[in-house]
């Protein structure tokens, strides 16, 4: 039986809507092997589909179909640490687990590029699936068939602090609230800030990040779906965050913080509780530069 470690991801990074994402040091695990029947279980008690509707199983079967192979059944044990529908790439982690597991069981017939492309075709966009597979910070463009991507390993004195609420926000709802069209001015606004984010993160000009995470394509609309979101932003900035943004479709809010800001997590949690936002969890993470791997 093979065992796979898949990182959580944070997409968009403010202005990089559907194009930027990074992998984080927070992991799901999947153990699998071929079987004559479907035998799916959760090691942590989470209620997961135990039939053909399981997303990891479906992704395994998709890769088998692409390779012209028959999947009779699968033994699958999954550990789901990444909370679902919170904007931390839980579905992408399942897709990547299935694809990497299937490719490994078949003797690696597909290349890493093939896996990136197939994952984007399943998910619909590569901003979570690409960094989940590749690690680091990934800039990706999906043309409908192929993903054109660049991975950059990031070694900075930064931590990414996830502020995770105790409620869900389904991606479908978070996408449905977005406008069908945007102005030319707003497009320029986002393009300039997305470029500034990558350049500033990689060169250490962290003072630029507060401007770079500003966005006019998705965050103003999604904030309305996340109770107290603006207040959470303010609390994070008050305790010294370089930049704060909605992670993926939300509702998790991500704060980019200097690793020497030792008490950021504790002070932020205290302020959240003091403001009556007791359901918000604070989790300090770092960039994972490796991505999905067999362990």
Strand partners, 163: 253, 282
Mean pLDDT score of the chain: 96
Q: What CATH number was assigned to the domain covering residues 158-285?
A: 3.30.70.890
pLDDT band at 117 (very low <50, low <70, confident <90, very high): very high
Q: How far apart are the first and last CA of the chain?
A: 11
Please report the beta strands in the chain, taking only residues with DSSP state E, as ranges in sequence order: 2-11, 20-35, 38-42, 73-79, 137-142, 147-152, 158-164, 243-246, 253-258, 281-285, 293-294
Query: pLDDT per residue over 164-185, tens digit each?
Result: 999 999 888 999 999 999 999 9
Residue 154 in this model has a pLDDT that exceeds 90: no
Query: pLDDT per residue over 273-294, tens digit each?
Result: 999 999 999 999 999 999 999 9
Encoding tokens for residue 189?
Answer: 């606004």
Encoding tokens for residue 165?
Answer: 């609420």
- Residue 202: φ, ψ to 5°: -80, -20
Q: Do domains 2-153+290-294 and 158-285 have the same CATH topology?
A: no
pLDDT band at 144 (very low <50, low <70, confident <90, very high): confident
- d(CA 292, CA 269) in angstroms, rounded, equals 30
Residue 155 in this model has a pLDDT that exceeds 90: no
Q: What CATH number was assigned to the domain covering residues 2-153+290-294?
A: 3.30.230.10
- Which of 42-51, 220-229, 281-290 is predicted least confidently? 42-51
Q: List the chain domain ranges.
A: 2-153+290-294, 158-285
Distances (CA, A) of 253 to 11, 19, 49: 11, 18, 28
- Which of 7-11, 53-57, 153-157, 202-206 is predicted least confidently? 153-157
Higher per-residue confidence, 45 vs 279? 279
Strand partners, 8: 24
pLDDT band at 46 (very low <50, low <70, confident <90, very high): confident
């Amino acid at each position: 039986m093979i065992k796979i470690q898949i990182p959580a991801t944070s997409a968009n990074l403010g202005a990089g809507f559907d194009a930027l994402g990074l992998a984080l040091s927070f992991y799901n695990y999947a153990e699998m092997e071929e079987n004559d029947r479907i035998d799916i279980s959760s090691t942590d008690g989470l209620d997961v589909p135990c039939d053909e509707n399981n997303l990891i199983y479906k992704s395994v079967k998709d890769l088998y179909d692409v390779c012209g192979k028959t999947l009779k059944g699968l033994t699958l044990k999954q550990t789901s640490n990444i909370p679902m529908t919170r904007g931390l790439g839980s579905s992408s982690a399942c897709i990547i687990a299935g694809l990497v597991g299937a490719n490994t069981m078949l003797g690696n017939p597909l290349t890493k590029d093939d896996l990136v492309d197939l994952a984007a075709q399943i998910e619909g966009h590569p901003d979570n699936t690409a960094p989940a597979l590749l690690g680091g910070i990934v800039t990706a463009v999906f043309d409908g068939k192929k993903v054109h991507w660049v991975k950059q390993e990031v070694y900075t004195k930064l931590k990414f602090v996830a502020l995770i609420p105790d409620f869900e926000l389904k991606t479908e709802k978070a996408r449905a609230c977005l406008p069908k069209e945007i102005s030319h001015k707003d497009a320029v606004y986002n393009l300039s800030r997305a470029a500034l984010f990558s350049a500033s993160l990689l060169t250490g000009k962290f003072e630029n990040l507060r401007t770079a995470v500003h966005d006019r394509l998705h965050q103003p609309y999604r904030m309305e779906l996340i109770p107290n979101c603006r207040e959470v932003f303010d609390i994070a900035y008050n305790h010294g965050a370089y930049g704060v943004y909605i992670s993926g479709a939300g509702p998790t809010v991500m704060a980019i913080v200097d690793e020497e800001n030792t008490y950021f997590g504790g002070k932020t949690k205290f302020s959240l509780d003091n403001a009556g936002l007791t359901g918000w969890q604070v989790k300090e993470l770092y960039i994972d530069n490796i991505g999905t791997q067999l362990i």
